[in-house]
Amino acid sequence: MEGLFIGKDNKYIDQVRGTSILSLLAKLDNLEIMLYEFSAGRPNSIIPGDSSDLMEFYYIIEGSIVIDVGDDRFELGKGEYFYVHNIKATVPFRTTTDTKMLYVTSAPVYNYLYTYTDDLNNLLIKSEKKDAYTHNHGNRVQDYSVKIAAKLGLTNEINYTIALASLFHDIGKCFIPDEILNKPSSLNEVEFSYIKKHSEYSADLLRGKFVEDVEKIVLQHHERLDGSGYPKGLKGDEICIEAKIIAVADSYDAMTSDRSYRTGLTPEVAIEELKDFIGKYYDESIVLAFEKVLHDDGIL
């Protein structure tokens, strides 16, 4: 019948797969209808749009989410919905289970979301393929970092930015020569100078794609409390708390991962290593919060 459109067998107009899956189901003029799929435990957010006329409507088909606004917490499940219109600040939310939402917008946004999701996902895949010994490193560091932030009681806005920064903190490694990244022995001084560039490369790649804080966090994630880190040799409170958290999560994952020239440390040994450098490299409250996270997860 003329004017009738039927979608069966997971049919969609277009789709992008990244840290989430976004499928464009239908569009007409400025109206777009999409299916948004998220894995459990993923921090996300809705940011203010360029147009005050933009409305974004989310209907939960499967799963559940939590929205924290100030002191108020809203838990939404299957069959419930929310929408935003002319918001002035970022609205963070977190999936508590694998979640599917019907996503309807009053203005075209799919191409924008497609472009940045696809670009960043390709960069993440490229950097992890280059470094054979840190496969899935970004996801692990994200998981640790978000749990540390929650244990410390940080705001949901910080939880969202740290989730993005921790996931993409090493994407600049795609510019580091393979023979250095995958060298089966310790690096010499010249080779390490190349490695130290990756935090700057990562920040450059993320510039303009997210809120400015994400770029800043990524740039600082190898700074250390005593000023011995890089690239700027920042000390103490000059380093943002999100970067201090990622430093702990990143170091732990590096220590517990197997490499061609050594076997990874046990969680017990790795956490003691972190505690040995409290006040020199790492913030005490962060290391102790991480220790609690590992206990909660049954790792220690």
Share of the chain above pLDDT 90, in %: 49
Query: What is the average per-residue pLDDT within 282-286?
Result: 97
pLDDT higher at 68 or 142:
142
Tokens 């740290």: give the residue: 162
Indicate the fold that domain 132-296 takes in CATH. Answer: Hypothetical protein af1432 (1.10.3210)
Confidence of residue 291 (pLDDT cuts 50, 70, 90): very high
Confidence of residue 99 (pLDDT cuts 50, 70, 90): very high
pLDDT higher at 164 or 286:
286
Q: What is the pLDDT of residue 266?
A: 96
Q: What is the pLDDT of residue 11?
A: 85
CATH superfamily, domain at 14-114: Jelly Rolls (2.60.120.10)
pLDDT higher at 76 or 179:
76
Residue 254 has pLDDT above 70, yes or no: yes
Query: What is the average per-residue pLDDT within 265-287?
Result: 97
Domain residue ranges in the chain:
14-114, 132-296
Tell me the backbone φ, ψ of residue 57, rounded to 5 degrees: -115, 130
Query: What is the average per-residue pLDDT within 107-125?
Result: 76
- Flag the least confident range among 137-151, 175-189, 241-255: 175-189
What is the full DSSP assignment across 175-224?
A: GS-HHHHT-SS---HHHHHHHTTHHHHHHHHHTTTS-HHHHHHHHHTT--
3-state helix, strand, coil in the chain (%, to 5): 40, 20, 35
Nearest-CA neighbor of 14 among 31, 28, 33? 33
Tokens 């992008």: give the residue: 16
What is the full DSSP assignment across 84-126?
A: EES-SS-EEEEESS-EEEEEEESS--HHHHHHHHHHHHHHHHH
Segment 17-67, tens digit of pLDDT: 766 788 999 999 889 999 999 888 777 778 777 777 889 999 999 999 988
CA dist 220 and 240 (Å) reads 8
Residue 118 has pLDDT above 80, yes or no: no
Residue 295 has pLDDT above 80, yes or no: yes
Average pLDDT of the chain? 87
Nearest-CA neighbor of 24 among 112, 86, 84? 112
Strand order in the sheet with 31-38: 14-17, 21-28, 31-38, 99-105, 55-62, 81-85
pLDDT higher at 243 or 183:
243
Q: Contact 16/37 with Cβ under 8 angstroms?
A: no
Residue 4 has pLDDT above 80, yes or no: no
Query: What is the average per-residue pLDDT within 131-140?
Result: 74
Tell me the backbone φ, ψ of residue 13, rounded to 5 degrees: -75, -45
- Cis before 267? omega within 30: no
Residue 199 has pLDDT above 90, yes or no: yes
Q: What is the pLDDT of residue 132?
A: 60
pTM for this predicted structure: 0.76
Tokens standing for 278?
């409290």
Query: What is the average per-residue pLDDT within 127-141?
Result: 74
Confidence of residue 133 (pLDDT cuts 50, 70, 90): low
Residue 211 has pLDDT above 70, yes or no: no
Are the folds of 14-114 and 132-296 the same?
no
CA dist 21 and 256 (Å) reads 30
Query: What is the average per-residue pLDDT within 217-241?
Result: 97
Residue 122 has pLDDT above 70, yes or no: yes
